[in-house]
Structure 1
Amino acid sequence: MDEDRDDFEFERRFFCREFPDELNDGDAPTLIVQGYFVHEDNYALRVRLQGEGVDRPMGERTDALNVLLEERDRFTAASMTAKGPAVGGTRYEAERPLDPSIAAELVVRGSSLIVKNRYGIWLGEDWWNIDVFGGSNAPLIVAEVERSGPVTDLVIPPFCVTEITDDARFSNDGLAEHPYSTWSDSYEQELQREGSHFLKGFGSNRSL
């Protein structure tokens, strides 16, 4: 059923060390603050607020709750999403819109928070989202592509260091429970030891 298919997301995600300056056109990104009320065993219940063109620097001292309180009148969209575990680039995701004022009150009243800037960029034939995280997840940068079906024959830009599509550590709910800064050193050692990898089961991986 088409309605059931709409409740699944198809995406591939990549770890990046830096945001390419040449891809920043000077426009302010989308500011995202999201709270997780459930984040266990790759199941999650998330409330997200988004503000277009809200430029807040992301660093280790960026506090998600302070950002929410200071910018709450500039959030123009919000949603509540139930998520299941990711398998092979596919994840159950049922999303419903919320009034931003209600969403803000829910998030303030108790959840694990994440704050990030999202940049949107056309690269090749796909729209890429590049998330720059703040707070305890700084300086993490994640690039992702989402389609209405499996993400096959993808053109992968050079700033993508390695693929993290099915790595639960890098899911936003995983980062809410175990922030990147608490394990970034061990991950860098792992990456040096094992090298980069890109999934092979999605057709050809092409270079930009």
Structure 2
Amino acid sequence: MSDTGYGDFEFERRFWVRDLPRDLLDGAPALIVQSYYLADEGYAIRVRVQGTVPGLVVGAQDDELALLDRHAEAIDFCAITVKGPMVGGTRYEAERELDPAMGLELVRRGGARVAKTRHSVWLGDDGWVIDTFAAGNAPLLVAEVERGGPVTDLVVPDFVVTEVTDDPRFSNDALARHPYGAWAGAFEAELATSGPRFLQGLGHNHLPGEAHD
């Protein structure tokens, strides 16, 4: 349970990125492989395993299970999480840590899988993570910021293109069943027509090129 006073609720905003800002990234990303045993209309049960793999770069050529098996010795964390739908940057998430060996076997044995690397970077007052997806979800890049309360008055980094916080297609549970690679072209065409969008009602979005205090 969260110690922020909000119980088992998480507050995050997620953004689609076209080009990876390599100068911001360290050389030791976390490999994350997660398996969704249930994923339906935003409700999900997920098992995640992860570990640090220096220099790892993933892409469409990397199968999720092959990645897991190749780097199994690096896995040092596992958790099972129950999730509810995302609404305005808020989502119910109740998590319990598991033994990593148990997690490896659960991910190997079932569910729809997602694999990605994750880099962490501190930008201004916020910690961000940047995920690079593998296998059928390549070449998707997503940047995410999380806080202990609603993510308001956010300074949006200049490498961000558009917000996908409330776009259910970009939730990891949806990506496990409908990989981004199959509809990436359609999304790019949609973006070219409609232009970028950002959540309103969460204070002021300080967008790239805009002066802010």
Shift of 1:47: 0.4
Q: Which residue in the other structure is 2:77 paired with?
A: 77
Q: Which residue in the other structure is 1:38 paired with?
A: 38
Q: Which residue in the other structure is 1:22 paired with?
A: 23
Correspondences of 1:91-110 after superposition (within 5 Å):
91-110=91-110
Shift of 1:10: 0.3
**1: CA distance, partners of 2:199 / 2:115:** 28
Q: Which moved more, 1:52-61 or 1:112-121?
A: 52-61
**2: CA distance, partners of 1:79 / 1:61:** 26
1:24 maps to a residue whose letter is L
TM-score with structure 2 length normalisation? 0.93
Q: Which residue in the other structure is 1:140 paired with?
A: 140
**1: CA distance, partners of 2:139 / 2:2:** 38
> What does the per-residue CA deviation read over 1:64-98, in whole Å, with 9 as the maximum and x for residues that have no partner?
10111121121001100000100010000001101
Shift of 1:62: 0.6
Q: Which moved more, 1:64-73 or 1:117-126?
A: 64-73
8 Å CA contact 1:83–1:92 kept in 2: the answer is: yes
8 Å CA contact 1:31–1:54 kept in 2: the answer is: no
Secondary structure in 2 matching 1:152? coil
Shift of 1:207: 3.6
Between the aligned residues of both structures, percent identity stands at: 52
Flag structure 2 segments of 5+ consecutive residues without an equivalent: 209-213
Shift of 1:19: 0.9
Q: Which residue in the other structure is 1:203 paired with?
A: 203
Q: Which residue in the other structure is 2:211 paired with?
A: none
**2: CA distance, partners of 1:164 / 1:44:** 18
Shift of 1:35: 0.6
Secondary structure in 1 matching 2:86? strand
Structure 1 runs (4+) deviating above 4 angstroms are: 1-4
2:131 maps to a residue whose letter is D
TM-align CA RMSD:
1.5
Shift of 1:2: 6.4
What is the total number of aligned residue pairs between the two structures?
Answer: 207
**2: CA distance, partners of 1:53 / 1:38:** 28
2:24 maps to a residue whose letter is L
Correspondences of 1:163-174 after superposition (within 5 Å):
163-174=163-174
**2: CA distance, partners of 1:139 / 1:2:** 33
Q: Would the alpha carbon gap of residues 186 and 16 (structure 1) be closer, same or farther in structure 2, given more than 3 Å must change?
A: same
